[in-house]
Structure 1
Amino acid sequence: MNKYIKILLFLIIFSGLLTGGYFFILNQINTPVSGQFKEQSFVIEKGESLKEISEHLEKEGLINQDYWFKFYVLGKGWAGRLQAGEYTLSPSMSILEIAENLAEGKTISDISITIPEGFTLKQIDSRLTQVGLIDKGGLLNFNQKEFLILNSQFSISNLEGFLFPDTYKFRKDNSLEEIIRKILNNFDKKLSEDLRAEIQKQRKNIFEIITLASIVQNEALTNEEMPVIAGVFSNRLTIGLPLQSDATINYITGKNLRQPSIKDTEVNSLYNTYLHKGLPPGPISNPGLDAIKAAIYPQKTDYFYFLHPLNGPTVFSKTLKEHNSNKAKYLP
């Protein structure tokens, strides 16, 4: 037989073997153990290896051979991505589907929680407690300073202001440190390089911006008026007028009043911006991105005053005389 024919035959046979092998592997990965839909719980403990998970899947009858699960996961580069937690799986799922579920952490024990814009540390503690993620007071009594020194790039000693408002998913077994780290990482992502560059350009620091943003967040009735309110506060800071923010008074008293009483505005606290000029010692809430942007890019305005009527939109004034007139007109 001509040697070229032999080579050709070899290539044909080899190609056939490769093709057959390819489809055999695809069959192993894509074909479920059973066509019967029957859900069952499957738990991955923290620290379990790919080998242990594969063997456990085979033992539970969710896959035929642990080898093919390991083969697929290693081929995808997911060995380090399989997440601990409780899952709902079925023998009617293929290796591909099971691997994707485990790599994406689609657990049934996920707890979804929303932190609204303007929530304080105390309110976040209460919400985490309500869903069973922490014991009451766990966040408030947490050693924030030590944690932040080790885990935050910002020069801060308190979490207030830096727990970014958003919707989060946590596992029931997440530690408080893991919860805080996830929220802080989100803050880090949301504060873009452009925003950081603008803060630096203005020769300010992130702590100052977040402190102002937290006040703007709790003073503004709408996102649209945030830049104007930030502009008012910027004007007052520039000429040395006290901010006289009612939101800072509410932070001290724990009340939620549109118009604090005169007695409340006289309370002795460094957070009392009626008594003390400049920004308070730190943020009074955890502001959203709109408030942060407003603090970075305040609207240029001639306003130095504003008030909140009990029923109606915010009213702005340029002079004290105009402001007093508006108080007589809009406030009881």
Structure 2
Amino acid sequence: MKTKKRRRVMAAIVVALLVVCGSAYAYITSALKPLNVESKKEIEVEIPKGSSTSKVGEILEDKGIVKSGTIFSLYAKVKSKNLQAGTYLLNPSMNVEEIMGQMSSGNVHRPVAYKVTVKEGAQVVEIADTIAKEFKLNKEDVIRQLNDKAFVQKLQQKYPTLLTNKIFDSNIKYPLEGYLYPATYPYYQKQVTLEEIVTPMLDKTNKLIEQNAQKMKERQLDVHQLLTMSSLIEEEATGYTDRKNIASVFYNRLAKGMPLQTDPTVLYALGKHKERVLYEDLKVNSPYNTYVVKGLPVGPISNSSVKSVEAALEPAQTEYYYFLAAPDGQVYYAKTLEEHNALKQKYITQKQS
């Protein structure tokens, strides 16, 4: 009887231990997972120099980043992670591994001092204006420096493949036109030079060119020609436009020795924005005006989106020589001038009458 009783007691103890161990395992597993997987809140966490692993865990728990600071610190010790001091931007949706990865790599959060957004299809004058407003500079001073040959040559030393001597053609309005990549750029230092401002823009364009080096070789385009062609495509593109079809029209016309006759080059030559390009505008004497010059204009007329660069490198295979952008944004293509004029009569002239 006593033996049976002892066995029941032992069994109860074993069960209790299993329950405790199971609960502990479940708790530890839970503590290693994100505290709130749905959270999008970013929390700034300051880890002072000399903080122990236990102290780091305590700070993270207090900030609502992890469920248990104790489990975090024990896990970090088991993994032999060297957690670095600094300010971090963390999220409750991160698991312990992700948090430790960020803190052991020293990927500290730096507050953004300035932010510049360069839009697709932006011109140097517009970009200079954006820079001037964000950094509290004089726009004309920014343009003057961007046009300074010594300044651009210094950049050329960093990017000799990207910035060729073609940008110094005497007819070029702005050497860096078309070369400043459209994106949003954060700057962390309070004092930033114009060189430091435009370098990330050139860096992104340089990488894009490097990625497409083989395609450029196959199409026999140099950097300047590619960025010039893609800028024309960018300026003609609308929300409904197939950029590759527009590219095909340009290439078909070049192959036939026909002028490109694209209105954005006229406006760029005039240096102004107009709702309608008039017949007299088409006569402006400029190496940018594709109604006057045959072939590509002397340089880009804006920067380009990646899609426009891709279209310039891989145009559609068509027999189109004309395209027409209707007021509703739709683009219509034609093989002959007669077809083009009929489309113009249908979608432009009739709409205006």
Trace 1:1-332 onto structure 2 (pairs within 5 A): 25-27=52-54, 29-32=56-59, 104=107, 106-132=109-135, 134-142=137-145, 143=148, 144-153=151-160, 154=162, 155-156=164-165, 157=167, 158-171=175-188, 172-193=190-211, 195-222=212-239, 224-257=241-274, 259-331=276-348, 332=352
- Percent identity between the aligned chains? 30
Residue 192 of structure 2 aligns to a residue in which SS? Answer: coil
Shift of 1:180: 0.9
* Equivalent position of 1:10 in the other structure: none
Shift of 1:202: 2.1
Contact 1:249 1:272 in 2 (8 A): yes
* Equivalent position of 2:12 in the other structure: none
Indicate the structure with greater helix content: 2
The normalised TM-score by structure 2 is 0.65
The normalised TM-score by structure 1 is 0.68
Residue 128 of structure 2 aligns to a residue in which SS? Answer: helix
Give the letter for the 1:198 counterpart: K
* Equivalent position of 2:37 in the other structure: none
Shift of 1:302: 1.0
Residue 182 of structure 1 aligns to a residue in which SS? Answer: helix
Q: How far apart in 2 are the matches of 1:242 and 1:326?
A: 20
Cα-to-partner distance string for 1:65-97 (whole Å, 9 max, x where unaligned) = xxxxxxx99x67x89xx9xxxx899xxxxxx99
Give the letter for the 2:321 counterpart: F
Give the letter for the 1:227 counterpart: K
Give the letter for the 1:116 counterpart: K
Contact 2:177 2:300 in 1 (8 A): yes
Decide which structure has the larger Cα Rg and report it.
2
Q: How far apart in 2 are the matches of 1:330 and 1:223?
A: 15
Shift of 1:25: 4.5
**Mind listing any 5+ residue stretches in structure 2 that lack a counterpart?**
1-50, 65-79, 90-98, 168-174
Cα-to-partner distance string for 1:151-194 (whole Å, 9 max, x where unaligned) = 2132153211110101111234221101111111112233453x
Residue 187 of structure 2 aligns to a residue in which SS? Answer: strand
Q: 1:183 to 1:102 in 2, by over 3 A?
A: farther
What is the alpha-carbon root mean square deviation over aligned residues? 3.3
Q: How far apart in 1 are the matches of 2:264 and 2:136?
A: 29
Residue 315 of structure 1 aligns to a residue in which SS? Answer: strand
Residue 137 of structure 1 aligns to a residue in which SS? Answer: helix
